[in-house]
Every structure is written in structure tokens, then in C-alpha cells.
């Protein structure tokens, strides 16, 4: 559903459903009619229910688009598996994204952020904040973490864009996926004989070499981390900045606030913007009841986090951006066992990026009127395509 | 207040560590929750309740 006149709000139709029919059926692109959940409590209940499956191969699973359906039949990663398979794969990575380990990356992330701002300040005005800053920050970080050469970024930025485009055809989607899997598969093979200090090397040595996983399975995991690792944070940096520039008092609070306030602002921006805005998709494994509604086995379910995060029963004055709000219980990272694995990393990246950018460039402003900014209505992850800024 | 954690359910999201670092930690090798204090003092109760509330895997239970 397209977002409305305020580019930061959920689709008006979702807001209407939250008020008038919070549990309802919705027709999706293939003609099927999964259940749509909009209330905060119901969204959490659905996502935490072990009788509800994330397996996109199951009949009734509400596929996001023809392109995404096609690629999920080719490569499965743990986001589309149920436990115990999901837990077994996820646990291979939980150590890499744990809070303390990610905290150790903070100085390196700070250096990346500072260097990119130096470069932007030394370059021409206006600049596109997406290309100059928002995209390179998470891209550099996830490349270093995974052990993917950053020099190849033009290639994986291109294929990644296709993978999150709602209107990509099955052919385009599959071609992009094969290109990325082929590239990562070769990289994993190389790391088998010449491992470095990175996640793909560790998976190559511990899993592929011992027969625990195939190189193709590690490549599938790598593509999930690579795409998720930069499409999300990059959009949060650029869209968050757009929202703050429209709310100068909130931007000033972030710029002048202490670390605690900045961390709080990150939670509020995650809630307010909820960039994964096409619903978390599930299918019922058995008959069950949610909020008094009987759901039958095999029926599709969509938990709309972006509107659940605007549910006034959990967030008073939900449409207001208030960086001092207590918002940590938002569902922007999802909920249940599939909740985002990379969230500690995303938090640190966002804290460092927001904190440093507005402090170092206090005169930062849009170089075009807001209505000329192109928002990503066409992508499964919301954001801005470009953000012309000056200072 | 008595805190009980279920390491088998934990998915290593790390939310509890961010909310109440005096009470929860993560195992170095796999990020799974470690309980540091099963009877936290009263001034930490609010944080512990919040940690239990935001745990996506419902792996934290509070008694009393």
C-alpha cells in the first residue's frame, strides 16, 4: 500500500484499518486474501506464535511480489525457515552481532563516518547524502564484517537494488540473485583456502570444510546479510535525516543531546519511520485465534509493523516525532524469533551516524523542496532514492 | 523479584543487555543470554520488566 501525503506516515488505508477494522482480510497481487493485523498487540501476538510459520514455501504464504516469490524458491535463508532449522542457522551468527562485539566496532564505525563526512565537505555542493554518506556507512561496515571486498560495491549495490524492488520481474529477480550467489560462492571457495578474520571465512572453515553447510548455503546466508546489512541502515540514515530536517527542534535535540538521548532518538526514529513497510509475512500452521478472530490452518497472515508502531494504545500521540519518547518496544525490527539479528549493529551505526553528521554539519539542509525528494514507494524497504543536501 | 531465563528460547537479539546490562549479558561464543543476577535489587526492577517485555523470544520470565 502506497504511503500518503505525509511521506513519513504509514499508508492512509492502513491507518484506517487500525481504527476501523484492525483484523481484516486484504487482497494481494496474486489475488489471495491473507489476514492483515494492524494493532500493536496483535502484531506481536502473531509474530511470537510458534503455530505461525515463516516458511515461504508453504501453501498460503502471502508472497510479497512475483520477483521475491521466484527468488525464495531458489535460495532459502533462515528468515524463511522455522525452528529448529531457523535456530540452528541463526545461532551460527548470533555471536557476530552480539552487543559487546558490536560495541567493539564503534571506534571503527566512527572513523568510517568521520572520513565520509570529510570527503563530503571537501566535495561539491549540493551533494547527494545517499551516495556520499548514507549508503557507504553500512556498506563499508557490512563488507568488513563479512569479508566482502568493498571495491565490488557497484556490483552488489546494483543487484541489491533489484532484490528489494517490488516491481522486479521473476526473471530480473532471479538473475540478480544468481549473480550475487555466484559472486559470494566464489568468495567462500577462496576463503576456504585463504581465510581472513571475517564472518564468511569463519563459515567457510567451520561449516563448508566440515560438511556442515555447502558453499551455496553459506552464499545464501551471505546474500541475506549483505542485502539486509546495507539496504536497511542506509535508508534509516537518509530517511531519518529527511524527517529530522522537517522537525528542526527534534534535530537540534539530537545534535545537542548526550549519548543517551541520541540512543533514544534512534529508537524513536526506528518506530516513527518503520522502513520495512510491507508487512511481516506468515502462514498459519494450524487453526488458531488472534484477537477473537478464528484463523484457519494454511491461511496467510500479514503483520503490519509500520502501523502497529503508530498504535496509540502503546505510543501516545503516535504520529508525532518525539526523540525523548520511550519507544524501545517498537516492532521496527520485527518481533518473535525472527526479530532482526543485526539490530545491535544497526543501532550503533545509526547512533554514530546521526550524532556525528548534525554536529559536524550544523547548517545541513535540503537543497530541494521536500516534494521533489523521491521516496521509495516502489521498494520493500522504504527510504529516499536521493537526498540533495547543502550546508 | 526472581528472574528466570530460557537459553534454549533465546535468539541472541541482545535487547535485554541494552536495557538492563547489570542483570543480563550474552555468551561470548554465541550471543545467548546469560543471567548475571537472578534477584536484582529494587532499583533495577523497572529495567528488568522492560527487558522481559521487549525480549522477542519471550525468553525472560519474572516471578514475584
Please report, for residues A81, A104, A342, A371, the alpha-carbon distance to residue A75 in angstroms, rounded to integers and kept in the order given.
Answer: 11, 32, 20, 38
Interface test with A, best of B6, B9, B14 (most A CBs within 10 A): B14
Confidence of residue A71 (pLDDT cuts 50, 70, 90): confident
**Residue of chain A with shortest Cα separation from B9:** A337
Please state the rounded mean pLDDT for residues B38-42.
96
> Sign of the CA dihedral A183, A128, A248, A317?
negative
Q: Quick one: which H or E segment has residue A300?
A: strand A300-303
A87–B26: do the CB atoms touch at under 8 Å? no
3-state secondary structure at position A17? helix
Q: How far is CA A376 from the centre of its chain?
A: 13
The predicted-structure confidence for A217-254, as pLDDT tens digits, reads as follows 999 999 999 988 888 999 999 999 999 999 999 999 99
Please report, for residues A175, A203, A235, A332, the alpha-carbon distance to residue A380 in angstroms, rounded to integers and kept in the order given.
Answer: 18, 28, 11, 14
Residues β-bridged to residue A301: A35, A282
Instruction: Note if the bond before A84 is cis, omega within 30 degrees.
Output: yes
pTM here?
Answer: 0.96
CA separation for the pair B32, A90 (Å, rounded): 11
Which candidate from B9, B54, B58 shows the least CB-CB separation from A329? B54
Q: Any idea what DSSP says for residue A381? A: B
Residue A23 in contact with residue A248, Cβ under 8 Å? no
Indicate the range of A1-5, A92-96, B47-51 predicted with least confidence.
A1-5
* Per-residue pLDDT, A161: 86
Instruction: Pick the more confident residue, B29 or A234.
Output: A234
Taking the CA atoms of residue A219, residue A225, residue A230 and residue A231 in that order, the dihedral angle to the nearest 10 degrees is: 90
Parallel, antiparallel, or unpaired: how do β-strands A280-284 and A388-390 relate? unpaired
Q: Any idea what DSSP says for residue A286? A: S
Parallel, antiparallel, or unpaired: how do β-strands A300-303 and A280-284 relate? antiparallel
Q: Kindly state the percentage of chain A with pLDDT values over 70.
A: 99
CA separation for the pair A220, A74 (Å, rounded): 10
3-state secondary structure at position A127? strand
Strands across the sheet containing A35-37: A23-25, A35-37, A300-303, A280-284, A52-53
Which candidate from A95, A99, A344 shows the least CB-CB separation from B29? A95
Interface test with B, best of A94, A314, A336 (most B CBs within 10 A): A94
List chain A residues with CB under 8 Å of B12.
Answer: 90-91, 94-95, 97-98, 341
B57–A94: do the CB atoms touch at under 8 Å? no
Interface confidence, given as ipTM, is 0.94
**Residue of chain A with shortest Cα separation from B51:** A329
B56–A99: do the CB atoms touch at under 8 Å? no
Amino acid at each position: 500500500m502506497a504511503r500518503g501525503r505525509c511521506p513519513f506516515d504509514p499508508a492512509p488505508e492502513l491507518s484506517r484499518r487500525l481504527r476501523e477494522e484492525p483484523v481484516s482480510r486484504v487482497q494481494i497481487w496474486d489475488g489471495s486474501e491473507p489476514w492483515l493485523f494492524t494493532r500493536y498487540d496483535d502484531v506481536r501476538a502473531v509474530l511470537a506464535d510458534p503455530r505461525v510459520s515463516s516458511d515461504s514455501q508453504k501453501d498460503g504464504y502471502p508472497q510479497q511480489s512475483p520477483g521475491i516469490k521466484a527468488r525464495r524458491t531458489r535460495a532459502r535463508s533462515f528468515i524463511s525457515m522455522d525452528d529448529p532449522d531457523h535456530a540452528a542457522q541463526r545461532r551460527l551468527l548470533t555471536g557476530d552481532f552480539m552487543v559487546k562485539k558490536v560495541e567493539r566496532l564503534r571506534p571503527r564505525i566512527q572513523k568510517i563516518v568521520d572520513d565520509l563526512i570529510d570527503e563530503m565537505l571537501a566535495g561539491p555542493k549540493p551533494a547527494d547524502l545517499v551516495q556520499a554518506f548514507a549508503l557507504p556507512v553500512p556498506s563499508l561496515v557490512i563488507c568488513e564484517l563479512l569479508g566482502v571486498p568493498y571495491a565490488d560495491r557497484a556490483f552488489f549495490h546494483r543487484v541489491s537494488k533489484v532484490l528489494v524492488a517490488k516491481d522486479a520481474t521473476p526473471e530480473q529477480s532471479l538473475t540478480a540473485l544468481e549473480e550475487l550467489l555466484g559472486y559470494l560462492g566464489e568468495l567462500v571457495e577462496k576463503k576456504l583456502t585463504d581465510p581472513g578474520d571475517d564472518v564468511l571465512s569463519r563459515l567457510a572453515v567451520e561449516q563448508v570444510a566440515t560438511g556442515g553447510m555447502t558453499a551455496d548455503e553459506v552464499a545464501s546466508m551471505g546474500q541475506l546479510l549483505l542485502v539486509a546489512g546495507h539496504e536497511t541502515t542506509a535508508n534509516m540514515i537518509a530517511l531519518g535525516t529527511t524527517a529530522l530536517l522537517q522537525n528542526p527542534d527534534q534535530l537540534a535535540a539530537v545534535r545537542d543531546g548526550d549519548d543517551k538521548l541520541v540512543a533514544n532518538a534512534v529508537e524513536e526514529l526506528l518506530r516513527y519511520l518503520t522502513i520495512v513497510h510491507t508487512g511481516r509475512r506468515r502462514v498459519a500452521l494450524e487453526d488458531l485465534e488472534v484477537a477473537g478472530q478464528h484463523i484457519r490452518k494454511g491461511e496467510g497472515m500479514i503483520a503490519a509493523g509500520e502501523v502497529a508502531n503508530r498504535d496509540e494504545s502503546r505510543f501516545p500521540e503516535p504520529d508525532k516525532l518525539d526523540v525523548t519518547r520511550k519507544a524501545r518496544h517498537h516492532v521496527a525490527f520485527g518481533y518473535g524469533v525472527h526479530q532482526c539479528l543485526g539490530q545491535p549493529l544497526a543501532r550503533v551505526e545509526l547512533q554514530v551516524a546521526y550524532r556525528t553528521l548534525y554536529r559536524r554539519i550544523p547548517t545541513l539542509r535540503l537543497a530541494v523542496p521536500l516534494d521533489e525528494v523521491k521516496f521509495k514507494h516502489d521498494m520493500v524497504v522504504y527510504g529516499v532514492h536521493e537526498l540533495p543536501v547543502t550546508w | 523479584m526472581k528472574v528466570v531465563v530460557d537459553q534454549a528460547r533465546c535468539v541472541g537479539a541482545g535487547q535485554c543487555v541494552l536495557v538492563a546490562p547489570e542483570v543480563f549479558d550474552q555468551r561470548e561464543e554465541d550471543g545467548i543470554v546469560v543471567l548475571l543476577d537472578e534477584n536484582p535489587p529494587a532499583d533495577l526492577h523497572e529495567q528488568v520488566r522492560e527487558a522481559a517485555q521487549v525480549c522477542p523470544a519471550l525468553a525472560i520470565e519474572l516471578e514475584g
